[in-house]
C-alpha cells in the first residue's frame, strides 16, 4: 500500500491527497473540490493595509513574507435530480502556477462525469472562476447546451471593465480581460442571466451581492433545517481577522467590506457551514471575535 502511494509517476487521478470532501446539507449532496493553490504577491491581500501589519499577519499565518497562497475551491451540488457545478477554477490560464487548474482531473477522480452536470453557476467572471471553462479538458466534456447562470450585472460589467479602483499586480489586467472576454464569447448562447436571485435546484439559490465585482454572487443551500453558504470571493482568508482589508481584486473596495461584514455577521449568527473560493479547504464556520471574526475549520468527519 505504502509502495503504491509513493509512486509519484502515476497518473494524477491517483494523487496522494484526494483534494475533495463530501458532505450533506439536509437532502443536498455537496462536494468541495480544491482546484489548487494560487501563490500571489502578499500586497494583493490588503491594498489599504499597513505593510508592517500585513507582514505581521503573514508571519502569524506562517506564510512566506513575499507571497500568500490563496486556496482555490469549487463546489458541486446535487439536489432534486440536478447536478450544479459552481465555478470552474483557473484552468490553464496561469501556466506559471502548476499547483492550480486541477478541477477537471479531480472531478474525474471523484467519479463525476462533466456530461452529467445539468447547471453551471459562475459567481463572477474573474479568471480563477471561469478559466476552467476555457480549457479543453473540461469544455469538451460538458453538455453543449449546459445552462450557465450568472448575474446580468456581471456580464454587463465585463463588456467594458473599469479597473480604476483596483491595485493589480503587473500583467493581471490583461489576463482578467482576456479570460472574461473569451468566456463571454464562447458561452454567449448558454448564459442564463438573473438580476438579484435565482433558485437553480431545490434549496440552491444564487444571490447577487455586488462588491467584489458588480455582479458577484453567493450561493445559499438550505435543506432539512441545515444551511451552507458558498461565499465566492466575498471573503478571503485574511478577512476573518481583517474584514477591513481591501483585496486587490475588489472592484468596489468599500462596498466589498460592507457585503463581507454583513455576510460574516449573518453566518456567525446562523452558525451555518461556509465554503469560500479562497478560504482554507474544505470548509468551516465563523464566529464573532471582538470587532472582527474567527474562522473555525471543519473537522474531517468519517
Q: What residues make contact with Zn ion under the rule CB under 5 A?
A: 126, 128, 233, 277
Give me the DSSP letters along 44-110.
GG-TTS-HHHHHHHHHHTT--SSEEEEEEEEEEEEETTEEEEE----TTS-TT-TTS--HHHHHHHT
C-beta closer to Zn ion: residue 128 or 250? 128
- The minimum distance between CB 171 and Zn ion, in angstroms, equals 16
- The minimum distance between CB 87 and Zn ion, in angstroms, equals 8
CB proximity list for 213: less than 8 A, separation 6 or greater: 124, 125, 126, 154, 157, 233, 251
Enter the DSSP assignment of 251. Answer: S
C-beta closer to Zn ion: residue 28 or 38? 38
Between CA 68 and CA 42 the distance in angstroms is 5
- The minimum distance between CB 291 and Zn ion, in angstroms, equals 26
C-beta closer to Zn ion: residue 93 or 233? 233
- The minimum distance between CB 211 and Zn ion, in angstroms, equals 13
Q: Left (φ > 0), alpha (ψ -120 to 50) or beta: where does 36 sit? A: left
- The minimum distance between CB 115 and Zn ion, in angstroms, equals 26
CB proximity list for 189: less than 8 A, separation 6 or greater: none
C-beta closer to Zn ion: residue 82 or 177? 177
C-beta closer to Zn ion: residue 19 or 125? 125
- The minimum distance between CB 16 and Zn ion, in angstroms, equals 26
Give me the DSSP letters along 99-161.
TS--HHHHHHHTT--GGG--EEE-S---HHHHGGGGSHHHHTTS-TT--EEEEHHHHHHTTS-
C-beta closer to Zn ion: residue 112 or 277? 277
Amino acid at each position: 500500500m505504502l509502495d503504491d502511494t509513493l509512486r509519484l509517476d502515476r497518473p494524477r487521478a491517483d494523487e496522494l491527497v484526494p483534494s475533495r470532501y463530501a458532505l450533506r446539507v439536509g437532502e443536498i449532496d455537496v462536494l468541495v473540490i480544491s482546484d489548487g493553490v494560487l501563490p500571489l504577491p502578499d500586497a494583493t491581500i490588503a491594498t489599504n493595509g499597513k505593510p508592517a501589519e500585513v507582514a505581521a499577519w503573514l508571519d502569524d499565518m506562517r506564510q512566506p513574507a513575499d507571497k500568500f497562497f490563496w486556496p482555490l475551491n469549487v463546489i458541486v451540488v446535487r439536489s432534486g435530480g440536478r447536478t450544479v457545478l459552481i465555478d470552474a477554477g483557473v484552468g490553464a490560464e496561469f501556466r506559471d502556477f502548476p499547483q492550480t487548474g486541477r478541477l477537471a482531473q479531480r472531478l474525474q477522480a471523484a467519479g463525476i462525469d462533466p456530461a452529467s452536470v445539468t447547471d453551471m453557476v459562475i459567481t463572477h467572471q474573474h479568471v480563477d472562476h471561469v478559466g476552467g471553462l476555457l480549457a479543453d479538458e473540461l469544455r469538451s466534456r460538458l453538455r453543449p447546451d449546459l445552462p450557465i447562470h450568472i448575474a446580468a450585472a456581471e456580464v454587463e460589467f465585463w463588456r467594458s471593465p473599469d479597473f480604476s479602483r483596483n491595485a493589480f499586480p503587473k500583467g493581471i489586467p490583461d489576463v482578467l480581460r482576456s479570460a472574461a472576454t473569451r468566456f463571454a464569447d464562447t458561452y454567449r448562447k448558454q448564459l442564463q442571466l438573473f438580476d438579484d436571485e435565482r433558485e437553480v435546484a431545490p434549496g440552491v439559490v444564487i444571490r447577487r451581492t455586488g462588491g467584489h465585482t458588480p455582479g458577484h454572487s453567493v450561493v445559499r443551500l438550505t435543506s432539512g433545517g441545515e444551511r451552507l453558504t458558498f461565499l465566492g470571493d466575498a471573503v478571503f482568508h485574511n478577512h476573518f481577522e481583517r474584514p477591513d482589508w481591501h483585496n486587490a481584486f475588489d472592484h468596489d473596495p468599500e462596498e466589498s467590506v460592507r457585503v463581507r461584514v454583513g455576510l460574516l455577521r449573518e453566518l456567525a449568527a446562523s452558525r451555518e457551514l461556509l465554503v469560500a473560493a479562497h478560504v482554507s479547504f474544505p470548509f468551516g464556520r465563523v464566529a464573532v471575535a471582538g470587532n472582527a471574526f474567527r474562522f473555525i475549520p471543519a473537522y474531517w468527519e468519517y
